[in-house]
Copies of this chain bind each other. A is one copy, B any other.
Amino acid sequence: MSHFAPVALHQASRLINHGPTVLVTSAHGGRANVMAAAWSMPVEFTPPRIAVVIDKKTYTRELIAASGAFGICLPGAALAALTFAVGSTSGYDEDKIARHGIQTRPGPVLGMPVIEQGCAAWLECRLIPEPHTQDAYDTCFAEVVAAAADARIFASGRWDYRDDNTELQTIHHLGAGNFVRAGGVVRGAA
């Protein structure tokens, strides 16, 4: 049973506000791929826009160029090994989705493959063509057109990190396959 529920678009940027490592999913013409990306960030709340760095040599970039869209999925801590694995091989060399038995479903607006099992949330994104930044910095801007999250960890527009949902908590790549899991909540507001 899926615990996923839609996230309002004006709250979608919050899903990556804290810098999680993400899985980038892509598809075109019957082919699909998944890769890991440590480098992404929101750039605007309304309209919800993000930026993500995707190397121009990747199969993902080829599929995004063809479809003009991609998915962003947030792996929970239980998917750390899978995240590292799909970040270490190329879709040019193997069908990573089949190899790892990853279950995807089509996103509601663009049909991009999104992953729910083991993930905390996903965002379906339409590329905003910016040839210069794509070329010079491998930086792809996109508008978020749909989003959803597992209600056990993100509900009513807010993250809720608790002792009983550690497997869904986002992971943040330190390098060399080591991630930190988001841990204790620190309150900065008075």
Report A's interface with B, CB cutoff 8 A: 14, 17-21, 38-44, 49, 51, 53, 77, 80-85, 130, 132-133, 137-139, 141, 157-159, 161, 171-190
Contacts and interface: CB of A to CB of B under 8 A. Distances in A.
A185 B175 contact: no
A159 B175 contact: yes
Copies of this protein in the assembly total 2
Nearest to A179: B186
B185 A180 contact: yes
A180 B80 contact: no
A141 B181 CA distance: 27
A179 to B, nearest CB: 5
A55 to B, nearest CB: 10
A189 B175 contact: no
A161 B38 CA distance: 18
Contacts of A139: 43, 51
A178 B185 contact: yes
B178 A187 contact: yes
B184 A17 contact: no
A81 B187 CA distance: 7
B161 A176 contact: no
Nearest to A160: B174
Contacts of A85: 188
A159 to B, nearest CB: 4
Contact of A172 (B19, B42, B51): B19
